[in-house]
Amino acid sequence: MREVFATAAAWLEEDRDFSLATLVALREAATAPVGTTIAVDTHGRIVGNIGAGCHETEIVEASLRTAADRQTRRLDINLTTENEIVGGAGCGAIMRVVAWRPERSFLDEARAIAAGARDARASFTYEDVDGSLVAFEHEYPAKERLILIGATALASELASIGRRLDFNVTVVDPRPAFATNERVPEAHAIVRKWPGDYLSAELSKHTSIVMLSHDPKFDLPALRCALRSDAPYIGLLGSRRSQAARRAALREDGFAEDALARIHGPAGLDIGGTTLAETALSILSEIIASRHERGGTPLRTTSRAIHRQG
């Protein structure tokens, strides 16, 4: 979605003739959520995908017509049946897609959706089957933040995969030799500060945090800040011995057991992997599972491999 709306913003700046097609309603299963949008210009350039399978061509054709004549179009698409000619969509969804032409006034919101720094909205009206006008408005939330404590090799993997998952990734490490763009090229920001000095004003219910350093000078100040915040996910790398030591230190600081239970340690779901990329995937999987209140088997083996690799 970020790329689609970045393209829309650029095309609005160019006064290019184009339209957006947005999934406005959905019944049953589908490969994309409500709000999914594609951009199509009159030259036939397509950015994005609705997930309508063999019906995607219908959406593009409607969008081309809307780009040319500015008329809003509604498409009701049934993906529950098989078609002998075009093949089977068969995913069980019924979706409504609307092709619409954004005005120049939408430029700021398109930029905001693309950047993900704040919540932003898209809104338009379309004609329903009975001829009445329907007002559609959809909020595209700001990117969730992921703060990584320690500019390690694993931080680089987490930043890379985190970008793909639409996280805004910040790496915190006071060591100038480690906290560099070369070590963590995919991070959105690198902060050369001690965790305790940086985190107090940075954590919220939209910010997950993972301690990667294996160093109590980094881990404990970060954990104290995290446990006093509304952070939805607090991850901690390290062996069982170091996990126990961190918790013991936090108990001495006065943190109760229900607070310590918020710490996911060792961080990550047990997917059986041992490489850095697999460990990063397991941690991000646990973050996403926590976001959706899903369960999962906590990591029990990968952290030892990471400890060996440093």
Mean pLDDT by 10 residues, the chain (310 residues): 96 97 85 92 95 88 97 91 52 85 97 94 95 95 96 97 95 96 96 95 94 94 96 94 95 96 94 92 95 60 29
* One domain, residues 213 and 290: yes
* One domain, residues 134 and 162: no
* One domain, residues 238 and 272: yes
CA end-to-end span of the chain: 36
pLDDT digits (tens, 9 = 90+) for 167-223: 999 999 999 999 999 999 999 999 999 999 999 889 999 999 999 999 999 999 999
Give strand pairing partners of 172.
Answer: 149, 191
* One domain, residues 159 and 302: yes
Domain boundary among 140, 159, 178: 140
CATH at 207: 3.40.50.720
How many separate helices (H) and strands (E) can be counted in the chain? 10, 15
* One domain, residues 116 and 197: no
Q: Whole domain around residue 25: which residue ranges?
A: 2-140
* One domain, residues 126 and 161: no
Task: Please state, in angstroms and rounded to a whole number, the distance separating the CA atoms of residues 74 and 77.
Answer: 10
* One domain, residues 97 and 237: no
Domain boundary among 140, 172, 194: 140
Please name the residue ranges forming H helices in 143-239. 153-164, 195-198, 216-227
DSSP class of residue 180 equals S
* One domain, residues 151 and 242: yes
Domain boundary among 93, 122, 140: 140
* One domain, residues 96 and 242: no
Write down how long the chain is: 310
Query: How many C-beta atoms surround the C-beta of residue 148 within 10 A?
Result: 29
Please name the residue ranges forming H helices in the chain. 2-13, 56-69, 107-115, 153-164, 195-198, 216-227, 240-252, 257-260, 276-291, 302-309
* One domain, residues 24 and 163: no
* One domain, residues 190 and 119: no
pTM of the predicted model, to two decimals?
A: 0.80
Closest CA to 9 of 114, 93, 92, 95: 114
* One domain, residues 167 and 210: yes
Give strand pairing partners of 207.
Answer: 145
Q: In the chain, how many domains are there? A: 2
